[in-house]
Amino acid sequence: MKTVRSISGAWLKTIAKNAFPSKPHAGRVKALAEALQISARSCYAYVAEERRVPEEVELRFIALFGKVAEDGWRTIEMQRPRYERKQKDERTPGLSKVQAEEIRTDWRSRAIRSSSILAQDVLGHALDWEQNPMTLGRLRMIDERLDEAEARLKYPHGFDSLAVSEDWLALCKVCGMVGAVDDKVKEVNGLVFNVTCETYSHRVGA
């Protein structure tokens, strides 16, 4: 067991409000996620304090928005994961791009295999995996409420490029729930991994 600090959800919301004052709350979180180069799903989890903010993301946050105030941190008691030492070794400087990509691919394949065992063998889902098809252009269309012609005219460069190429989605063919493996920040998340198929126990009343 060890104690670590993580940027608090309240501080993330404060910074997002100041950085993107013209956007509604949901728009601010998405804009913050885009600035930090993470998925909106992960950003919502950090704001809600469901997960700690990874160090890599914290460094990007500080580089973009400045030093975090003392009351902008929260303390977390966490168990040291068994694979932490291996991950540290994987980040050792001097790896070639090919070696680094092999490590990322290996982590992703192991994460997909392990999470699939949980989702399918334990929770009863039937998964189809695919690389996240969301493009930069589609994100612009959603964020600014543009149709495709308007968005292509306004953002002609990289419109069809993948926005989150490190994100791999799992869709259950039975109940439609979604999960994901993000090998950029080493995360596995989504309802398909923690709710039994067709129970819909994640749904709550208005």
Within this chain, do residues 140 and 188 fall inside the same structural domain, yes or no? yes
Same-domain check for residues 141 and 114: yes
Q: With contact defined as beta carbons under 8 Å apart, do 168 and 41 qualify? A: no
Which residues have CB under 8 Å from 204's CB, separation 6+? none
Domain end among 38, 58, 78 = 78
Based on the fold, state whether residues 65 and 158 are members of the same structural domain: no
For the stretch 35-47, pLDDT in tens is 998 888 888 888 8
CATH at 69: 1.10.260
Which residue, 78, 99, 128, sits at the end of a domain? 78
Q: Is 29 exposed, middle or buried (0-12, 13-18, 19+ CB in 10 A)?
A: buried
Beta strands 73-78 and 127-131 are unpaired
68 and 103, same domain (yes or no): no
pLDDT by residue (tens digit) across 143-189? 778 788 887 888 778 788 776 667 788 888 888 888 888 877 778 88
**Torsion on CA atoms 93, 99, 104, 107, rounded to nearest 10:** -100
Mean per-residue pLDDT over the chain, rounded: 77
Q: Would the pLDDT of 88 be above 50? A: no
Count the domains in the chain. 2
Q: Which domain holds residue 155?
A: 84-193
The top-scoring range by mean pLDDT among 27-31, 39-43, 54-58 is: 27-31
Asked if residue 94 and residue 74 are part of one domain, the reply reads no
121 and 62 in a single domain? The answer is no
Do the domain assignments include residue 127? yes
Q: Are residues 88 and 155 in the same domain?
A: yes
